[in-house]
Amino acid sequence: MTAAEKARYDTLEAFGFGPNVMRKTAVCGTCGRMADAGAAACPACGGKLPEETLYDCYKRQHACCPACGTVLSPGSRYCPSCGKRVFCFMAGRRRRAGRT
Ligand SMILES: [Zn+2]
Ligand SMILES: [Zn+2]
């Protein structure tokens, strides 16, 4: 990770959007607010929280290292965390989903 990426990462982490935070955050399926993934129900509306954390959602939409699960920036060829060579088959490839 470069210094600029590190700074960005630190900022995101500070604002609550780092992977460590995302793993502990779930999005309420009812009101869409973010809640503690460990909570049984949404503190805002009392709706049921999904099993899936924000991190899981994020991972579904972004390419991730198959070895360690680190989210890769688009175009990455190697995992910045463990150095494994990866293929970005997800990021930037999807143009228009739902052409059925
Ligand atoms: Zn809610
Ligand atoms: Zn990795």
Contact status, residue 80 vs residue 1, Cβ threshold 8 Å:
yes
Tell me whether residue 87 is in a domain. Answer: no
Please report which ligand is nearest the Cα atom of 50. 1
For 35, the domain range is 3-61
In the chain, the number of structural domains is 1
Tell me whether residue 38 is in a domain. Answer: yes
Tell me whether residue 83 is in a domain. Answer: no
Please report which ligand is nearest the Cα atom of 70. 2
Total Cβ atoms within 10 A of residue 62: 15
**DSSP category for residue 72:** P
- Residue 91: band (very low, low, confident or very high) from pLDDT cuts 50, 70, 90: very low
Determine the distance separating the centroid of ligand 2 and the alpha carbon of 1, expressed in angstroms.
Answer: 12
pLDDT in tens, 47-66: 999 988 988 888 888 888 88
Tell me whether residue 28 is in a domain. Answer: yes
Give the tokens for residue 90: 């997800």
> Residue 26 — φ and ψ, nearest 5°?
-120, 155
Tell me whether residue 32 is in a domain. Answer: yes
Give the pLDDT score at 42. Answer: 94
Contact status, residue 24 vs residue 37, Cβ threshold 8 Å:
yes
- Give the global pTM: 0.56
Is residue 98 predicted with pLDDT exceeding 70? no
Helix ranges restricted to H, 1-100: 3-14, 19-22, 54-61
Tell me whether residue 35 is in a domain. Answer: yes
Tell me whether residue 98 is in a domain. Answer: no
Tell me whether residue 47 is in a domain. Answer: yes
Mean pLDDT, all residues of the chain: 81
Determine the distance separating the centroid of ligand 1 and the alpha carbon of 34, expressed in angstroms.
Answer: 8
